[in-house]
Amino acid sequence: MQKTVSFTLIVFQVIINTFAQLLLKKGVGSVDFRKPTLELLLAVISNTHIFGGVLIFVFSLLLWLYLLSQFDLSFLYPFGSLSYVLAALGGWFFFAENISLCRGCGILLILIGVALIAKS
């Protein structure tokens, strides 16, 4: 049971971290980065997607710190690479980004690597 809870927390951390990144991506799409610094800062701070992304990212960081206290770094850290997979899929689904054959092969290699580490 403890192992299932542990893996659930690890996967949850990866998912919310990726969700935060997707919110940030959505938010910066409506920010004009050519504005003067103060206007740019206000635009970023007042953007609800960016604000939500940052809040979720902070929660993700706190959960990551907890997980670091529970697991060996050499075991835990490779699970973070699952966020590359989820971000690619999220980019494809939400932003119509292309997943080329080469990128798809890379995603498959990541999944195989994480599966091998999870078995260790």
Share of the chain above pLDDT 90, in %: 79
DSSP secondary structure, 28-84, as one string: HTT--TTS-HHHHHHHHHT-HHHHHHHHHHHHHHHHHHHHHHHS-HHHHGGGGGHHH
Do 63 and 16 form a contact (C-beta atoms < 8 A)?
yes
pLDDT band at 60 (very low <50, low <70, confident <90, very high): very high
Looking at the predicted structure, is the pLDDT value of residue 1 above 60? Answer: no
Q: State the pLDDT at residue 6.
A: 85
What is residue 119's predicted lDDT score, i.e. its pLDDT? 81
Q: Which residue has the higher pLDDT, 6 or 100?
A: 100
- Residue 3 pLDDT: 73
Predicted pLDDT at 75: 87
- The tens digit of pLDDT for each residue in 63-96 reads 999 999 999 998 898 888 999 999 999 999 999 9
Q: Encode pLDDT of 25-54 as tens digits.
A: 999 999 999 999 999 999 999 999 999 999
